[in-house]
Chains A and B, each alone.
Chain A
Amino acid sequence: MKIHEYQAVGLFKKAGIPTSEGKVAVQLSEAVSIAKRLGYPIVLKAQVLVGGRGKAGGVKVVSTQKELEEKFEQIRKLNIKGYAVERIYVARALDIKKEYYLSCIVDNNASDVVVIASAAGGIDIEETAKTNPKAIKKFYLNGSRQPDAKQLTAFIHSVLTSPAHQKQAVDIAEKLIKLFFENDCSLAEINPLVVNEKNSLVAGDAKVVLDDNGLFRHKDLQALRDIKYEDLDELEAKEKNLSFVKLDGNVGCIVNGAGLAMATMDIVKLVGGQPANFLDVGGSSNPEKVLNALKIILKNKNIKAILINIFGGITRCDDIAQGIIQARAQINIPVPLVVRLTGTNEEIAKKMLLTEGIQTFATMREGVNRVVELARKV
């Protein structure tokens, strides 16, 4: 789960990492009074959970109230990658003498947490990793939540060669690592880490991504979710223990298991159809789940036909059949339904559906071919 910069700054402050003073504003009047308190120059930063806000004109430095009023309105009118700007972070502009980069991230391939630092701050780290990998230095924690102080110090010194900043940088790195583990982060990034006019280090930006699987033990962090960035249907699906992702096509898919659900979409496409969604009903086969899945899928008005593709294991085919029959009794399904069932209690399920006039297919290829054909006809 991504959180906004101003929320991440809150976590930084709590952890004792120096940040430039600021506060988030929704209304212009709030921004004006925050700026008055902090003093100019002020930086205005659009709070959006997508990258590239700088390039989109979402970050502006202003020196007077008049300028602030003008830029604030400009930023608020922006649409950054499809998202309106609702909140603007108003902070004291830093007098930047030099910029570094510092982050803590999970390296999945190494099954470890790594601290990344660079003397080239303000950079696009992924881009630099490709074009100038030598500019980036890495320090693996070897599964430990607390790195060896000496090793961390040596690492930081190898990046920040100016003695004036070294002690503070080690302190900030330690605090960033602590914050990272305490909040179950998958990323905590300071980019840039600024040397200001007083020759001390300040976080010029704050980026934190939280591990969804870790959120259950952080009730306070759950509240930081900005649902504007979630698809409402996807959120609703999640509440009902379904995993759902909307796509552009017209063939609705209901499948058990994530891998099979992806493969089903792929094969729909390969035989000439367009999948409308990814939907995994999960392992257990509560008939209610089929009803919920159909309800969510049918909200999409592009749907021309639906394929239910079930490989019964723990999921019992007769439970799925029961769910289909119940759903047909309870809601109107205005498009053709194609059912492929294999595995546990397949025969019982087929009989149940046949009585209802629903034809079933034994293989995925047959089911997919049929649903794509039907979607074309309509």
Chain B
Amino acid sequence: MSILIDSSSKVIVQGITGRDGSFHAERMKEYGTKIVGGVTPGKGGQEAAGVPVFNTVKEAKKKTGADTAVIYVPAAFAKAAVLEDIEAGMELVICITEGIPVLDMVEVARALKKSKTRLIGPNCPGVISPGKSKVGIMPGHIHKPGPIGVVSRSGTLTYEVVYNLTLGGLGQSTCVGLGGDPIIGTRFVEVLEMFMKDKETKGVVMVGEIGGHDEQAAAVYIKKHAKKPIVGFIAGRTAPEGKRMGHAGAIISSGESTAEAKRRVLSDAGVIVVDFPDEIPTVFKQKLK
């Protein structure tokens, strides 16, 4: 098992005729992901990355039986792309796009609430269930199937963590990039819940960072419900207050949004909070004995 995606996931790529969309469609296919089609309005009937292109998500879903969509469209069009997926009843939407206006995400969040669609992202690297399916932009080869679930607000820092796990002989069940924006479709708590239920997952790494209070919400959940070991890493201990650190959501605006506050609250909830990503495999080896 794994969470969110597996080898049966049928994926369409929104923005497949664009530079990023076509490049990553190829990479995902190489990894073994079932890419069944693409969507670019006005380019229906063409072919890209070896799959048919449709004008609308609705049509693509009907013709291909897709259950998952991945979005590579520019920020100005991302809201419409997600809303189209929700309208079409897509089960899972993974939005890679960075720079979406926050009020667009407020509108998307409202539509999500009334639907069965789950959104991962935006501004995220995507989701990978190693050996089964990769939907996003992460380098597939650093992953390996195994017992550790990874959930993170970051991109390359997640790769760093995964690389260390793999080097340390620990594979991954699923790695989920939540995204670096202040408003995201899925937050820590929801993914932790999925990992707790997933039989393949024996332990979880959560990678947080400064800004917001999602780590605090996660700590409340972990204290009550976590039955598997969780290792935490929080980025931004040296970040100055009031400065946006690359991610739109990574900004210290209050006491609770600092790295130290998050480390403390997670630690109090029973999470093993490490200083260095390369300590993670050692911790699991002791815990999973």
Contact = CB atoms under 8 A, between A and B. Distances in A.
Contacts of B244: 212, 245
Interface string A302-329: 0000000001111100000000000000
A67 B156 CA distance: 59
Contact of B236 (A109, A266, A311, A365): A266
Contacts of B273: none
A263 B160 contact: yes
B240 A313 contact: no
Nearest to B110: A143
A44 to B, nearest CB: 27
Contacts of B249: 108
A161 to B, nearest CB: 30
B278 interface: yes
Interface string A275-292: 100101001000000000
Contact of B233 (A211, A263, A342): A263
A243 to B, nearest CB: 4
Contact of B183 (A111, A212, A260, A270): A111
Contacts of A143: 106-107, 109-111, 113
B102 A259 contact: no
Contacts of A243: 245-246
Interface residues of A, number: 53
Which of A108, A243, A245, A266 has its CB near the most chain B CB atoms (within 10 A)?
A108
Given A216-B75, A245-B243, A263-B233, A312 B157 contact: no
Q: Tell me the interface secondary structure of chain A in the complex.
A: mixed
Given A214-B103, A247-B240, A111 B109 contact: yes
Which of B159, B163, B238 has its CB near the most chain A CB atoms (within 10 A)?
B238
B235 interface: yes
Interface in A347-378: 363-365
A275 B238 contact: yes
Contacts of A233: none
Contacts of B247: 258-259
B18 interface: no
B9 to A, nearest CB: 21
A89 B249 CA distance: 33
B59 interface: no
A112 B109 CA distance: 8
B159 A343 contact: yes
Contacts of A257: 154-157, 159, 246
A365 B139 contact: no
Interface of B: 75-76, 99-107, 109-111, 113, 125, 137-139, 142, 152-160, 163, 180, 182-183, 207, 209-210, 212-214, 217, 233, 235-240, 243-250, 254, 259, 275-278
Interface of A: 106, 108-109, 111-113, 126, 142-145, 181, 184, 186, 211-214, 216-217, 243, 245, 247, 255-263, 265-270, 275, 278, 280, 283, 311-315, 342-344, 363-365
27 contacts: A111-B109, A112-B109, A143-B111, A186-B102, A211-B102, A213-B75, A213-B101, A213-B102, A214-B103, A243-B245, A245-B243, A258-B247, A259-B156, A259-B157, A259-B207, A259-B235, A261-B245, A262-B209, A262-B246, A262-B250, A265-B239, A268-B238, A270-B276, A275-B238, A283-B155, A313-B156, A343-B163
Given A143-B106, A283-B155, 8 more contacts: A106-B102, A113-B103, A211-B101, A245-B244, A258-B246, A259-B154, A262-B235, A262-B246
